[in-house]
Structure 1
Amino acid sequence: MPRAGLNAQIVVREAARLVDEVGYHRLTLAALANRLGVALPSLYKHIKGAEALAQQLSTLATAEIAEEMTTAAAGRSGEDALRAAAAAYRSYARRHPGRYPATQRVPDPADPAHLAAGERAVGVVYAILRGYGIDGDAAVDGVRMFRAAVHGFVSLEAAGDFGLPRELDSSFDQMIAALGVAFRSWPAPGPA
């Protein structure tokens, strides 16, 4: 019999807290069951397995980072919106070092909640790019550029891989300013 009050949402939320403590790649169903005070077989009443848990954790984390980026960029435009969204992204990665890697999972087309969370996350960046006059296929390139830059920075920062003697906030600010310059000078689309 499942533990009273335990459900899939509680299991995923507790998994999110656990990965922030132990790291995304160190999450096991056994550790989660122990944390929840249930036997491992009991956990399967709420979650289908490790892959299903990873999927649901990704959905949760993607929705969270999308919400933070959306809130930060709301009412802003141009470089102000770009800076706010990037800062929210970085802040989320710093506060949730275990959850953040889950945001990098490609949404499962069979999971409407995950798709919606992913669309909302990239939608923030698409909206910012529209403010720069970038849309269509060029916007896809811009979203990829934003993600590669900001994800690369926060991943290197989390791993402690910046060894040069310069304050990281200054480097992050310069990177976002450079993205703003790139987006302001985005080449017009060529002939079709």
Structure 2
Amino acid sequence: MPRTRLDTDRVIATAAALADTEGFDALTVSAVARELGVQPASLYEHVRGRDALLDGVQRLALGELGSRIADAVAGRSARTALQGLADAHRHYAAERPGAWAAMQRTASPQTAQSPEAARVATLLLAVIRGYPVPSDAVVHAARLVGATVNGFLALTRSDAFSHREDDQEASWTTALDALDRALSTWPPEGTP
């Protein structure tokens, strides 16, 4: 039987795909090894354990999300850029549920300082800068956008909206409209 050729990218991609199908909590070195048809010890050359595996999936997810956001906001500003940013998150969460879940875990210092994380943060800040938000409030505005989008997606994922017949699309649009109004009317710098 030929040996399976492994590299770190393949191990992480397999882990992310497994997280999407089996759930993020099911992600272990042993489960990835089974998926690849190798012994767990074969993976330790590529990942040093479960935490490194989870970090790898988180960075892969950030990289994929960053590419989607970049495409969605290119050439846009204000409301249309905000819509693109939020929709990129929403579609990614729906299409890659395990990879999305990886981004919900606390990032290691290495992941937080990674180029993938920096790209997502830079794109978010670029969208915020398309509004008249003062420089001393950009981080607060970015946190508001992140919390609103992530909160909506977390509630959607947990079926918190399923007990109501109201249209979730209308709620999504309403949330983005509210964010757009908040960002468009942010108080001037130095306002308490």
TM-score with structure 1 setting the length: 0.92
Structure 2 partner of 1:50? 50
Give the conservation status (yes or no) of the 8 Å contact 1:81–1:128: yes
Give the conservation status (yes or no) of the 8 Å contact 1:129–1:139: yes
Please give the alpha-carbon distance, in whole angstroms, between the structure 1 residues aligned to 2:152 and 2:111: 29
Select between 143-152 and 39-48 the one with higher mean Cα deviation: 39-48
1:123 maps onto 2:115 in alignment: no
Give the conservation status (yes or no) of the 8 Å contact 1:8–1:46: yes
Please give the alpha-carbon distance, in whole angstroms, between the structure 2 residues aligned to 1:88 and 1:190: 33
Structure 1 residues 191 and 78: CA distance shift in structure 2, 3 A: closer
AA aligned opposite 2:80? D
Tell me how many residue pairs correspond in the alignment.
Answer: 190
SS in 2 for 1:57: helix
AA aligned opposite 1:87? D
The 5 A counterparts of 1:1-192 are 3-110=3-110, 115-162=114-161, 163-190=163-190
Cα deviation for residue 116 of structure 1 reads 1.4
Please give the alpha-carbon distance, in whole angstroms, between the structure 1 residues aligned to 2:160 and 2:48: 36
Please give the alpha-carbon distance, in whole angstroms, between the structure 2 residues aligned to 1:52 and 1:182: 39
Please give the alpha-carbon distance, in whole angstroms, between the structure 2 residues aligned to 1:54 and 1:137: 34
Q: Percent identity?
A: 34
SS in 2 for 1:5: coil
Cα deviation for residue 135 of structure 1 reads 4.5
SS in 2 for 1:30: helix
Root-mean-square deviation (Å): 1.9
AA aligned opposite 2:11? V
Structure 1 residues 111 and 177: CA distance shift in structure 2, 3 A: closer
1:139-191 Cα offsets, whole Å, 9 max, x none, are 10011001100001111111111122111111101100110000001011217
Please give the alpha-carbon distance, in whole angstroms, between the structure 1 residues aligned to 2:122 and 2:133: 13
SS in 2 for 1:81: helix
Give the conservation status (yes or no) of the 8 Å contact 2:135–2:189: no
Give the conservation status (yes or no) of the 8 Å contact 1:129–1:135: no
Structure 1 residues 100 and 30: CA distance shift in structure 2, 3 A: same
Give the conservation status (yes or no) of the 8 Å contact 1:70–1:124: yes
TM-score with structure 2 setting the length: 0.92
Please give the alpha-carbon distance, in whole angstroms, between the structure 2 residues aligned to 1:102 and 1:40: 21
Cα deviation for residue 104 of structure 1 reads 3.0
Structure 1 residues 159 and 135: CA distance shift in structure 2, 3 A: same
